[in-house]
A and B are shown apart, each in its own frame.
Chain A
């Protein structure tokens, strides 16, 4: 069964550093998402991406965040200057062609630790 994959599984970085989290969505999917989960809190939507542009973003997704689909397979989340409060589990998800009924499939997550 096709899966969403994410790398790395765990990233440790110093405050102020840039990080890039990588995701490979399911190959024929067209809608892509990033969510995050701070330890002990709920999973929160960050951004959705369709047709090579952001379709929606939450208030969490400020100017420090950016997303890119640099080639036909990868979907990346970049945090330009990490803060302590960016420490969280980051989940990528993808969804197929039918906007209304398709399900979002989640990757295993990247645990980001900012020191």
Chain B
């Protein structure tokens, strides 16, 4: 069965610090990968996605993620975080095996950015 692991439950950073949130998935076939963000009191919004091509994907608000197939990873990065990046971040995978169409989510990483 597919699964997604996000290793950091809660990350606390100061403004301007660099961010990297880990995401690993278990699925041997072709995958689509996503990062969603949930700001306090708001709904899940897509940050970025990977389907094919360049493994370095750029998303909104200065975020990027790198798909490393050999490591089954899709880590999220941002060189300099802002207070407004405080939110919960979810990695998700959609596979092309028996389970198609639905997203498998990680547990989420809560990011707190101190001003």
Which residues of A line the B interface, CB within 8 A?
4, 31, 33, 35, 41-45, 48, 50, 55-56, 58, 91, 95, 99-101, 103-109
- A106-B44 contact, Cβ under 8 Å, with A55-B101, A56-B100: yes
User: Which residues in B have their C-beta under 8 angstroms from that of A100?
Assistant: 51
Q: How far is the CB of B45 from chain A (nearest CB, A)?
A: 8
Q: Considering only CB atoms, which chain B residue lies closest to A106 in the complex?
A: B44
Q: Considering only CB atoms, which chain A residue lies closest to B9 in the complex?
A: A40
Q: How far is the CB of A5 from chain B (nearest CB, A)?
A: 10
Contact flags B76-115 to A (C-beta < 8 A → 1, else 0): 0000000000000010100000011111111110000000
Interface contacts (Cβ under 8 Å), in number, total 52
Complex contact B101–A56 (CB within 8 A): yes
Give the interface size class of chain B. 20 to 34
Complex contact A41–B104 (CB within 8 A): no
- Distance A101 CA – B40 CA, assembled complex (angstroms): 28
- A45-B106 contact, Cβ under 8 Å, with A91-B43, A91-B44, A103-B34: no
User: Which residues in B have their C-beta under 8 angstroms from that of A43?
Assistant: 44, 90, 92, 103, 105, 108
Complex contact A103–B46 (CB within 8 A): yes
- Distance A79 CA – B99 CA, assembled complex (angstroms): 24
Complex contact A48–B102 (CB within 8 A): yes
Q: Which of B43, B101, B106, B107 contacts A106 (CB 8 A)?
A: B43
